[in-house]
């Protein structure tokens, strides 16, 4: 073999070695992220006539750095959260933005006639948006979970298809942005706008004690990852300051398979106008200890929530209580007769409650029009059997828009 050929072969060998080494390095750094992105599959197409965006499913590989997020003290604002996820999940090379559009939602707990405990949730918005079902299975003792994410929160707008690699890489941050979900312990939680503050604006909760910090959706992620019961969820939440995202304000509902549930909200202790988010304190109202909310709530063993603060005497008139009509409709659908205080219904009836307050039909039937006129998804979480029936864009009865998930994917 000539000397020149030997040199060429040597150069090629070196280049191949470098390529293999680079590939090995990329795999070592990105193998969980690459597996996660590769798992993304479409469940439902967009439907322009119904103002519906597409729906996708994603299985998260690895532990998505959430323990490290908590160990660093969480984040007190979106910029800090973005800095963390870019430094860890997207390795600093994929730009991420997070925002929190106005949403109007509703939830309830109930029991079914076959003995299951359930948590129902409608997620309402004002236009087409891309939905993502996120399934996690962390390996460090945290609970596996199934959650729902609106990708608009991550900057994927207007019901866009996940057609580019960059869009799919953005989905790596989705575990940090759940809006509702269930974990394998049978704990379910949802987040709902509470519209706190003056008439001309919303003031976000921004607690400033010496506790570590969590933003709105990462608090929900903490509950899904670590809480084995409602009591554990409340105990965890009490250990953190809440910092609502993007100038909005939220409250939460959490429930477990024992039938226990609670509404969690942050209300100013010494500010009657609630215009200073630093002065808010956590209030917890349990389903078996909520007589302060009213006679109706005291009688019902189940709970329900929409978009107004349930803390007594917060409002001077009912007109300021956003979603009061849906709140009352949920209660009436489950215990309108007054003889079903336990809130026991069939599974079909529970789905019917979600359908009743779905915003397309609700607004049309009641002559209403506001910024949240579409129910993007409806989810009925079965806390006893650890499963969820998930309905896309009010497609009740349409098999192509109804999906069921459980924890058999682990």
The Cα-based distances of 21 to 11, 12, 14, 16, 91 in angstroms read 15, 14, 10, 8, 19
Name the region of 199 (left: φ>0; alpha: ψ -120 to 50; beta: rest). alpha
pLDDT digits (tens, 9 = 90+) for 196-235: 988 768 899 999 999 999 999 999 999 999 999 999 999 9
Q: What percent of the chain has pLDDT over 90?
A: 72
pLDDT at 341 (0 to 100): 97
pLDDT at 63 (0 to 100): 94
Query: CA-based angle 214:103:145, to the nearest 5?
Result: 50
Answer whether residue 20 shows pLDDT above 60: no
337: Cβ contacts below 8 Å, ≥ 6 apart: none
Tell me the C-alpha distance between 295 and 299, whole Å.
6
Beta strands in 76-127 (DSSP E): 106-112, 117-125
Nearest C-alpha neighbor of 375 from the set 355, 347, 405: 355
Query: CA-based angle 150:265:306, to the nearest 5?
Result: 55
Give the pair of three-digit tokens for residue 404: 């069921």
The Cα-based distances of 301 to 52, 190, 198, 259, 398 in angstroms read 35, 19, 33, 9, 32
Tell me the C-alpha distance between 54 and 58, whole Å.
13
Nearest C-alpha neighbor of 112 from the set 355, 360, 340: 340
Nearest C-alpha neighbor of 155 from the set 240, 95, 202, 211: 95
Answer whether residue 22 shows pLDDT above 70: no
The Cα-based distances of 248 to 195, 225, 399, 404 in angstroms read 7, 24, 35, 31
Answer whether residue 52 shows pLDDT above 80: yes
The Cα-based distances of 302 to 54, 74, 160, 287, 339 in angstroms read 33, 33, 37, 6, 13
To 10 degrees, the CA torsion angle through 47, 48, 49, 53?
50
Place of tokens 């409608």: 122
pLDDT at 196 (0 to 100): 92
Report the relative pairing of strands 131-136 and 117-125 from DSSP bridges: unpaired
Nearest C-alpha neighbor of 362 from the set 350, 371, 351, 374: 374
Contact call for residues 234 and 262 (beta carbons, < 8 A) = yes
Q: Give the pLDDT band of residue 91 (cuts 50, 70, 90).
A: low
Tell me the C-alpha distance between 309 and 111, whole Å.
25
Answer whether residue 348 shows pLDDT above 80: yes
Tell me the C-alpha distance between 190 and 319, whole Å.
24
pLDDT digits (tens, 9 = 90+) for 142-155: 999 999 999 999 98
Answer whether residue 10 shows pLDDT above 60: no
pLDDT digits (tens, 9 = 90+) for 167-203: 999 999 999 999 999 999 999 999 999 999 887 688 9
Contact call for residues 94 and 34 (beta carbons, < 8 A) = no
Answer whether residue 25 shows pLDDT above 50: no
Average pLDDT over residues 380-385: 98
Question: 3-class SS at 232?
Answer: helix
Contact call for residues 355 and 364 (beta carbons, < 8 A) = no
């Amino acid at each position: 073999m000539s000397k020149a050929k030997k040199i060429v072969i040597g150069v090629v060998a070196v280049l191949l070695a470098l390529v293999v080494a680079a590939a090995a390095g990329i795999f070592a750094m990105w193998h969980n992220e690459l597996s996660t992105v590769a798992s993304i599959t479409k469940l439902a197409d967009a439907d322009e006539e119904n103002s519906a965006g597409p729906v996708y499913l994603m299985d998260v590989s690895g532990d998505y750095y959430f323990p490290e997020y908590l160990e660093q003290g969480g984040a007190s604002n979106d910029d800090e959260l973005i800095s963390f996820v870019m430094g860890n999940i997207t390795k600093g090379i994929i730009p991420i933005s997070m925002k929190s559009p106005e949403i109007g939602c509703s939830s309830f707990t109930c029991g079914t006639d076959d003995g299951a405990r359930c948590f129902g949730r409608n997620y309402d918005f004002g236009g087409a948006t891309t939905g993502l079902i996120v399934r996690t299975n962390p390996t460090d003792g945290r609970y596996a979970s199934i959650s729902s994410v609106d990708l608009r929160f991550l900057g994927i707008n207007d019901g866009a298809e996940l057609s580019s690699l960059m869009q799919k890489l953005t989905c790596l941050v989705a575990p940090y942005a759940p809006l509702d979900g269930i974990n394998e312990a049978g704990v379910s939680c949802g987040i709902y706008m509470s519209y706190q503050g003056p008439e001309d604006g919303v003031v976000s909760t921004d607690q400033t004690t010496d506790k570590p910090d969590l933003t709105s959706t990462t608090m929900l992620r903490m509950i899904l990852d670590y809480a084995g019961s409602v009591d554990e969820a409340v105990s965890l939440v009490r250990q953190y300051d809440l910092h609502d995202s993007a100038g909005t304000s939220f409250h939460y509902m959490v429930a477990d398979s024992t039938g226990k549930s609670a509404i969690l909200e942050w209300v100013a202790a010494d500010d009657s106008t609630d215009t200073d988010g630093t002065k808010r304190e956590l209030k917890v109202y349990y389903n078996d200890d909520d007589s302060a909310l009213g006679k109706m709530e005291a009688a019902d063993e189940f709970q329900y929530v929409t978009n107004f603060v349930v803390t007594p005497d917060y409002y001077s008139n009912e007109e300021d209580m956003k979603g009061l009509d849906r709140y009352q409709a949920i209660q009436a659908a489950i215990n309108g007769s007054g003889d079903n205080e336990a809130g026991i219904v069939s599974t079909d009836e529970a789905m019917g409650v979600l359908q009743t307050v779905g915003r397309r039909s609700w607004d049309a039937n009641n002559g209403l029009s506001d910024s949240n006129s579409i129910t993007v998804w409806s989810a009925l979480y079965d806390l006893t059997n650890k499963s969820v029936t998930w309905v896309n864009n009010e497609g009740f009865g349409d098999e192509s828009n109804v999906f069921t998930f459980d924890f058999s994917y682990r």
